[in-house]
Each structure stands twice: as C-alpha cells, then as structure tokens.
Structure 1
Amino acid sequence: MLSAGCTYIVRKSEQQLYEAEGVDVIAVEDDKINSLGKVRQWIIDNAKEDVVIQIDDDVEKLSYMFKQSTVYLTESQVIDELMRISQILIDLELGFASLSMNPDPRRHVSEFLWKAITGGICWFNKKALRGRYEQSLMKVDADFMMQEILYNRICIVPDYLCLYAKHDTNKGGNNTNKDYVRLVENNSYLKSKWGRYYDFDYKTNKTKILVKR
C-alpha cells in the first residue's frame, strides 16, 4: 500500500529477511513483540512522534466508500488520508482512530462513526490516549476500543474508507496459538470485564460493542 516512508517493527529473528527487502527496520527482541497487543503497545511506548499510525502487514489497499462503484486510493491519496485523520485527532484532542474491519457500502450512512469493530490501520494521539493494550488477549483491538470509549467517550472511525486485508491468514504473529478454546476463554474474560457492553457472535465470528453513541 505504501512503497516508502514507513518503518517496519519486526522480531530480531526476522530482521535480516526484512532488511534484504530494502525497507527501514527496527528489530525488537522476539518475546517483547510476539503478540498483537505487545507490538501495538511497544510502538506506542517507544515511538518519538506525537501521533503514531500503525498499519498491519496484511493490509493490501484502501478504497472510498461509494455505493455505485469502487475507487481505489493512490499512494498519495493514502498518505493524505493518513495525515487528515491524524490532524482530526489532534484538533479534537482524542486518542484513537481506526478503520472498520467490516465495511459495507449497503449500510453506509455517515462519513464518520464513533465506535466500531476496528483494526488494520490505527491512529494513536499519544497526548490524549487513555487506553493501554492487554498483551495476552486475542481481541486486543476491541478491548482497546472499549477503553477509549470509556475514558474519551468517542473514537474516530472514518467510515468513508474501505479496508482490504487478509484477516487471520498470515502465519505467526497474532495467529500463533489462536484456537477455539482460547477464543472462548478470551471472550469470557471480556464479558466479565465489560458486562453487557461486549458480546461475540460465534456463528458469524464477529465481535459486538454494544455501547450507544
């Protein structure tokens, strides 16, 4: 999606593989970033920038949310949108923005949502951020969204953008040790933590955040 201008956070055991591709790399000890929650929080804690944008390695492209046609973003348009959302967070003094994992043009009614099941691309405004990632959870993005809704009241979800990614298909990373038993355990924990505001539909494999905004 981006040919340059970004930094890859990788495990030290994979450092040479990434460097051989000619990309900018920061290598971290494997056990410090061996889950999605760990790597997200490590980047937030260690990045020097005020606003940090994290793009998952399975994100392929973006398009605008049009009901009649599909218009894919060029690289320059992607950069413009990344900067636009960053500035919105700064202006509104909010901590978190992300894209919906389930974009659906048929249900599109607004350019922005204030909550959703998000991931893929995340913006973190460190000066206003209140949540913190629980490093052992499978559903870390949903838990983090709930924290930000609790403390900052809303999150920014640019629903005019469609995310294209290969969810749960990459080997390693957050897919390591991901199985049904662990999924049930994690959902039970989140249900006990967030009560009636969290649910999970096992038939559709979709998380539900039941907070009205």
Structure 2
Amino acid sequence: MTAGISFNIYVMSYQRYDRIVTKDLFEYCTYVVREEEADKYREAGVDNLLIIPKDCPVWNFMDTLWWTIWNTPEDVIFIADDDITRFIYRMNNWLPIDSANFINPVETVTAEVERIAQMLVDLDLGLAYDGPQKTLFAYDKEWNFKGMPGHCRWVNKNCLKAKYDCKDMASSDIDMAMQEMLLNRITLQPKYFLSDAGQMEVNSGGETNTREETYQGRLAMENKWGKYYSYDVRKNQAKINIKR
C-alpha cells in the first residue's frame, strides 16, 4: 500500500464459530463478531476480534457492514463474508487459488486483495466488490464499473460517498453501489478475481429474508432509483441500468 495509507482485512461473522472457513485464506484478518459470541470464536482459534457491543443496534447485514466501516481505524478496508471457502482466478478458465495451483495460495490471495485496495486509492474511488456470478461465460473483461455485489468488498473511506440510513427499506449492498455510482461516478468490480462461498445461506449465520421482505425491498429500490434499477422476477435477478 501507499506509504501512510493503512489497510486491514475484516471478516463479518455471526453464529458461525463452529465453522471457521475464511480466516486461513488470508495472511492476516480480523473477525467482526458480537460480544456475546466472542469467547466462542476465541475457543475456535480466532484471536483477532473486533467486537460489537451487546447494546449496539446492529441487527442485520447492512448494519454490520456500516458499523465495521465506522468503527475501524484503517483508511482502506476489505470486508469478506464468513462463508468464503476459496478464491478463484477466472479468465479463459477457472483457476482456484489453492495449494494445487500456487506455491503460496494465502500470499497470492492477500496480495491480490491488497492490489485492488491500492487501485481504489490510486483512482480516488470509494468502493469495489467482487461479483456473485462465477460462470465462465460471464467473463468478458477484467474489470467492470458496476455489477451485483458478491461476497466481499473493498472500502476506501476517504473517497466513499455512499451513506447509510437504517430506516431506508432500500438499504442494501446494491443500493450502496448505486449511491457510489451516482456520487462518485463509478465503482470497481474485478471480474477475473472471485470469492467462492458455495451454497449461500445454508447455516445458522445466514441472513434469509422472507418472501414479503424481499418483495418490499425490491419495491423500495424501484421507488428510490426508478428506471436505473430493475428486477427480473422470472430470472430472480436485479439489474443496474446505468451507462458510462
């Protein structure tokens, strides 16, 4: 990283102290956990913890994401979900970043994460994120300026323009990305470097919305962003309709 710019890796985790799968993918990281679960994470071998106090009004994914942004001292941070099992290079084919393909996969992943963080600093941008779509046919370029967020994100606090309102029903990682595109023109999405969490929302820490909550959130996004956001019910896919 640029001299004078501090950086760290954080993993947001809830009720997954019995399945620590993401920590060992990095050379260093800090787990973001709730105070009442901190001892269980320590017993599971997680030494570096950022603890959310019991009386803190943090109820869901977006609350936790923004609490982490507001309560960490570094200039740039990388925030990962706690169910990521590996990272992948995707271009002409899939190349899992593991011991079968790399001499030091942990160093490779950490260096890639740091490199993308440095790009945010160099370009004076506030937000980057990987994508959820891992298929080969979805790869058409190394970088995109928009897209659906996946399992990890980079935040350059000095340039982040998005804001969070817990009362806004549209608040989501997609809304965060769209705010950045409105106020900061573009975001960064590496299409060659992906996290792989396998099947989502399959254990106790997953945040699963009801059908009604999903529907109300979709309506809130449509009301807030109008023609710039659409949702294909048949394909169960959201779309950002912004051109640059």
Change (3 A) 1:46 1:104: same
RMSD: 1.8
2:201 to 141, 152, 168: 168
Higher mean displacement: 7-16 or 27-36:
27-36
Cα deviations by residue, 1:132-164 (Å, 9 ceiling, x for unpaired): 234365761100000000001100101111221
Q: Stretches of 4+ moved more than 4 A in 1?
A: 136-139
In the TM superposition, what is the alpha-carbon distance from 1:70 to its structure 2 partner?
2.9
Q: One-letter code of the match for 1:170? A: N
Gaps of 5+ in 1: none
Residue 11 (str. 1) matches residue 34 (str. 2):
yes
Could you say what secondary structure the match of 1:119 adopts? coil
More helix by share: 1
Q: One-letter code of the match for 1:94? A: L
Gaps of 5+ in 2: 1-21, 99-104
Question: Matches of 1:209 and 1:139 in 2, distance apart?
Answer: 15
TM-score, normalising length from structure 2? 0.80
- Counterparts of 1:1-213 in structure 2, within 5 Å, are 1-3=22-24, 5-23=28-46, 24-30=48-54, 31-73=56-98, 74-135=105-166, 137=169, 140-165=172-197, 166-172=199-205, 174-175=207-208, 178-213=209-244
TM-score, normalising length from structure 1? 0.91
Cα deviations by residue, 1:54-93 (Å, 9 ceiling, x for unpaired): 0111111111113344332511111011100010000000
- The number of aligned residues is 211
Kept in 2: contact 1:59–1:164 (CA 8 A): yes
Q: One-letter code of the match for 2:243? A: K
Q: Percent identity?
A: 30
Higher mean displacement: 10-19 or 144-153:
10-19
